[in-house]
Structure 1
Amino acid sequence: MSSPALALTRDDGDDPGTGLSVIETLGHRAAWAEMELAETRAAKALLLGRRSDEWFAARWPSRSGAWAKRLNGLPKYVVSATVQKPEWSSATGCVGKVLKGDVVEEVSALKEELDGDIVVYASIRLAHALLEHDLVDELRLTVFPVVLGTRPAPLRRDEHR
């Protein structure tokens, strides 16, 4: 039986105040990518909601590096009642499948079929459904503290290097 991991991340390339943009601004992108690459090396597939699949398909096929190559090459399973084929898989030429039936039945069957981690990125509604139906064997959360707002930062940038 596989041990799916639920990894919730956000990478809004269009908004410089969130996601990898913040990590890159603070000089930690290499460490972040290394951690994510290790997670994806252990993965056998990605499980996504429709909107997350569309978001990744618009941004990740053109990215380079070991992490992007691994993500683009993983099989992608997309939970959706409306799409015919996963966009990200179609854009990268890798295996992909749309899970159109009952999410609990479809994901339970996928867990039995695959031998390894199934990672979920973004897809918060899907994550909630998986958690609600006890389909998550391991929850991995990465916390990257960032203070936003107009007040002075608690630490100057040079103080925490």
Structure 2
Amino acid sequence: MNEIPQPEAIVDLVEEAIRHPWPKNQAEKNALFKRLGWGQGKKSPASTNDARDIADHFHLEPRDGGPPIFATSRELDGLIESIHLQIRLDSALPDPQATQCFDAILRQLTNLHGEPTVPWHGQRGLRKMWHVNDIDIDITYNDSRSSLTIGIQDERSFAEVEAYARANSAE
């Protein structure tokens, strides 16, 4: 079985996540997760020292019957901050099919939302972003390892979280 999901299945998940405004409460978060086709996952502390920063881990089953997609949602103080889709793990061996998948996702998202921006230069791998309906779509591809991740987050929530983190970093 191919471990790389079909690009269309991935783009469908991204489009479903950005179709409505970003969740501002638990009911809206539950509605988003239901639309995306996953239930409650395994909650664990995120990779920070802040106990209010929680990560949920899921395996999404694409509608096309392809391989599952590992997903993580991050919450701070009960509000969802972001969703990350891990299409291929960073430890995976290089795979031309992963590069083709990345290229197809970029083409499809560019056709839907216009040319992406590149947040900064000089980083390892390729990174593209779109800003759609006040939501950021952030795709990172490491071509030397064929790892592919997609981050989806509310631009305002992310800015608030960053401001909160800066203000409370001295604690």
What TM-score do you get using the length of structure 2 for normalisation?
0.24
Structure with the greater relative contact order (CA < 8 A, sep ≥ 6): 1 or 2? 1
Instruction: Select the structure that is richer in strand.
Output: 2
What TM-score do you get using the length of structure 1 for normalisation?
0.25
